[in-house]
């Protein structure tokens, strides 16, 4: 039987601080809106979407027609028109070394006795991630002498300095990594994490293989409806409580990560960030439902493998006294905290679906302002923390440690992976991949070590530039789009860093006293279990 760690810090005080911080951010955003900054960023993006046409802000958004702004607009439009997609060569291959070192640190430092305890602190993770991120930025600042594409809020090209530090290039890389990619990523995870953390599913079912498999199957379905993060946060704690009398639990959490945090999320764009990017690029919202066959086969096989493993190998080795205690303490599940959190979760889904600045709000011709979606998400978090029950969060053992661990590590990952993405973007079309199966494996392999959302986007654009051999969706051959979509979602399960919820579930399980596999130990699970399943799926459907 695993013993829980010490209780989390008092939630009401910490939640009050978080709510206060969110209110300050909302006030700053309101001030920025008064000054017209979010609207101006939206206008730049809208103008780009109109192919450089003369697009003006609505009267309610304020005027941007002064001489300086007009000159900047003209310069921006000309740069976008002349240089779109025309940035210089990618940085040299050795520039990915900081990213490789960061991955090695995540894998090795927890296993190195002299520093293992130091690494447990999120401040230590942030120090390592920030240091390696600074090294990456220095490569762009002092060494890389080629133009770099700016992706936020709209496309432009930053040119290197003729001599000395290239502040524009390094700043562009930082903007791409943080403002364009990291902020939307971490805000969405934070919203799902906090709101789901206010819902409690309590009770202690008997932890049989069938009950555990039912938990995982429920999560696989929920992952496509409320996102992999939302489903994972809702179900990981009751799963751990159900298994609190058992000693062999780690494999159950690993299979939970496989399915709920990854493979279950491919039926709707809200299920996983890569699919949402595809939706923003023109893929029909319901197109992903066509992936139901590979979804069913993949998750069905994983559930069968889990049930056999737990039935034949793990459950029989539980001590008789623990099994008897588990049976004696078993009771029905009860759900609390649905109000106000269920409506707020629906609000998260609605905000993600409709408040994208690159698309008009359905039924209108209005493009949302830059970061309005993120502000709405933070507002929903504040409502959840302020109106929800602190007692329920206490019972859940809710703390911010897991999301802070993801935030600390992924800020370095998003910056350090910029050279790798640039190299991939430049040379992806020359890799000789053209079949759906090839796209599945190359997208999946890179999604397991890079964030799967930008990796999806790179190969989506690569496939979009290729001649289609059959039906198309958003300008991409449907077969290739299927391979890219399944690869990004499914193979994010191959490592702890393949998808954000993977790390959060690992952290929550360890806080509950479960001894989780190391970085390499987890890969042994994924290589031995997932690769054969994915090989079969690629043979059957690609």
Q: What is the pLDDT of residue 490?
A: 95
* DSSP assignment letter at 468: P
Q: What is the pLDDT of residue 14?
A: 65
CA angle 515, 517, 521 (to 5 degrees): 160
Measure the CA–CA gap between 539 and 354, rounded to whole angstroms: 36
Q: Which residues pair with 453 in a beta bridge?
A: none
* Token representation of residue 376: 């709405």
Question: How many other β-carbons are positioned within 10 Å of the β-carbon of residue 306?
Answer: 24
- 3-state secondary structure labels for all residues of 480-513: HHHHHHHHHHHHHHHCCCCCHHHHHHHHHHHHCC
Q: What is the pLDDT of residue 507?
A: 86
Q: What is the pLDDT of residue 207?
A: 83
In the chain (542 residues long), the average pLDDT of successive 10-residue segments reads 43 73 96 95 86 42 40 41 55 92 86 87 94 97 92 90 93 94 88 89 83 94 88 90 88 96 90 80 85 96 96 90 80 86 92 86 90 96 93 86 87 90 76 86 87 78 80 89 95 87 88 88 94 96 92
**The dihedral sign for the CA sequence 136, 139, 144, 146:** positive
* DSSP assignment letter at 477: E
Q: What is the pLDDT of residue 22?
A: 96
**The dihedral sign for the CA sequence 374, 376, 377, 383:** positive
Phi, psi (deg, nearest 5) at residue 387: -100, -20
Measure the CA–CA gap between 522 and 527, rounded to whole angstroms: 9
Q: What is the pLDDT of residue 269?
A: 83
Q: Look up tokens 């993770």; give the residue.
A: 125
Q: Are 318 and 252 in contact (CB under 8 A)?
A: no
* Token representation of residue 373: 């979606």
Among residues 189, 184, 186, the alpha carbon closest in space to that of 152 is found at: 184
Among residues 507, 285, 523, 261, the alpha carbon closest in space to that of 401 is found at: 507
- The model's pTM: 0.80
């Amino acid at each position: 039987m695993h013993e829980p760690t010490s209780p989390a810090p008092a939630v009401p005080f910490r939640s009050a601080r978080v709510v206060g911080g969110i209110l300050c951010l909302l006030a700053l955003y309101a001030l920025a809106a008064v000054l017209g900054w979010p609207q101006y960023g939206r206008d730049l993006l809208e103008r780009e979407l109109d192919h450089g046409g003369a697009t003006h802000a609505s009267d309610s958004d304020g005027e941007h027609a002064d001489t300086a702004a007009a000159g900047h607009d003209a310069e921006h439009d000309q740069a976008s028109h002349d240089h779109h997609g025309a940035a210089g060569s990618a940085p040299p291959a050795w520039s990915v070394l900081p990213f490789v070192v960061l991955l090695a640190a995540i894998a090795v430092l927890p296993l190195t006795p002299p520093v293992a305890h130091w690494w447990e602190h999120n401040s230590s993770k942030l120090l390592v991630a920030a240091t390696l991120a600074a090294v990456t930025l220095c490569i762009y600042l002092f060494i890389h002498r080629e133009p770099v594409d700016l992706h936020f809020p709209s496309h432009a090209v930053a040119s290197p300095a003729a001599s000395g530090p290239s502040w524009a290039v390094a700043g562009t890389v930082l903007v791409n990594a943080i403002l364009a990619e990291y902020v939307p990523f971490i805000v969405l995870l934070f919203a799902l994490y906090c709101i789901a953390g206010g819902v409690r599913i309590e009770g202690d079912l008997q932890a049989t293989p069938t009950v555990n498999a039912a938990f995982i199957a429920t999560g696989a379905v929920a992952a496509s409806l409320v996102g992999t993060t939302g489903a994972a946060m809702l179900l990981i704690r009751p799963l751990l409580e159900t298994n609190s009398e058992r000693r062999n639990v780690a494999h159950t959490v690993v299979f939970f990560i496989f399915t709920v945090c990854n493979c279950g999320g491919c039926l709707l764009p809200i299920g996983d960030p890569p699919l949402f990017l595809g939706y923003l690029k023109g893929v029909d919202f319901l197109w992903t439902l066509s992936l139901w066959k590979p979804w069913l086969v993949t998750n069905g096989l994983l559930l069968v493998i889990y049930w056999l493993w737990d039935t034949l190998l793990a459950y029989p080795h539980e001590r008789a006294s623990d099994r008897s205690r588990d049976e004696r303490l078993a009771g029905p599940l009860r759900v609390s905290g649905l109000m106000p959190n269920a409506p707020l979760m629906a609000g998260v889904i609605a905000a993600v679906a409709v408040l994208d600045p690159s698309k008009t709000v359905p039924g209108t011709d209005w493009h949302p302002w830059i970061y309005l979606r993120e502000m709405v998400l933070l507002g929903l978090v504040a409502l959840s923390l302020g109106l929800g029950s602190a007692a329920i969060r206490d019972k859940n053992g809710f703390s911010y440690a897991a999301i802070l661990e993801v935030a600390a590590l992924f800020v370095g990952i998003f910056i350090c992976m910029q050279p790798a993405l640039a190299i991939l973007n430049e040379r992806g079309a020359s890799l000789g991949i053209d079949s759906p199966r090839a796209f599945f494996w190359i997208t999946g392999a890179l999604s397991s070590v890079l964030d799967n959302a930008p990796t999806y986007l790179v190969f989506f654009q690569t496939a979009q530039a290729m001649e289609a051999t059959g039906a198309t969706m958003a300008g991409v051959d449907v077969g290739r789009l299927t391979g890219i979509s399944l690869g990004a979602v499914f193979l994010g399960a191959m490592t702890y860093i393949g998808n954000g919820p993977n790390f959060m579930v690992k952290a929550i399980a360890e806080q509950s006293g479960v001894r989780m596999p190391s970085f390499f130990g987890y890969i042994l699970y994924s290589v031995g279990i997932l690769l054969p399943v994915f090989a079969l799926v690629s043979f059957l459907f690609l």
